[in-house]
Amino acid sequence: MKRWIVLMAGLVLAFSAAAADSVRFGSSLVVLGDTEAHVLKVAGKPAIQSDVQNRFGAVVAHRLDYDEGNKTISIYVGQDGRVAKITETYN
């Protein structure tokens, strides 16, 4: 029984941030490859918008963070203006 509890606790901690191919905002979806304009139309203004830099300091993407109750949804938009990555981090 003790092993089962330890295993479950480890799994919960390991999956506190999960990558996704899509995320739902109300009745609409944002999927990989969507344009930034579509994201803003569906999800609205982000709580935080920040640049993502490579190790040389060049901006390679920007991140849109949305607070959704018990989780933060981060949408990464590449230089081509399309969604490259979606992550959900549970608070």
Domain containing 62 — which CATH number?
A: 3.30.1450
Q: Which residue has the tokens 């608070």?
A: 91
Phi and psi dihedrals of 44, rounded to 5?
85, -165
**Which amino acid appears at position 84 of this protein?**
A
- What rounded mean pLDDT belongs to the chain? 87
Phi and psi dihedrals of 35, rounded to 5?
-80, 160
The verdict on residue 9 lying in a domain is no
> What are the pLDDT digits (tens) for 10-51?
555 454 556 779 999 999 999 999 999 999 999 999 999 999
The verdict on residue 6 lying in a domain is no
H helices of the chain, in order, are 2-14, 36-43
For residue 71, the enclosing domain spans: 17-90
Q: 43 is written with which tokens? A: 């999800």
Domain tally, the chain:
1
Question: Which pTM was predicted?
Answer: 0.79
Quick one: pLDDT at residue 18?
66
Rounded CA-CA distance 19/2 in Å is 30
Selection from 18, 17, 64 nearest residue 44 by Cα: 64
The verdict on residue 7 lying in a domain is no
The verdict on residue 1 lying in a domain is no
Quick one: pLDDT at residue 63?
98
The verdict on residue 11 lying in a domain is no
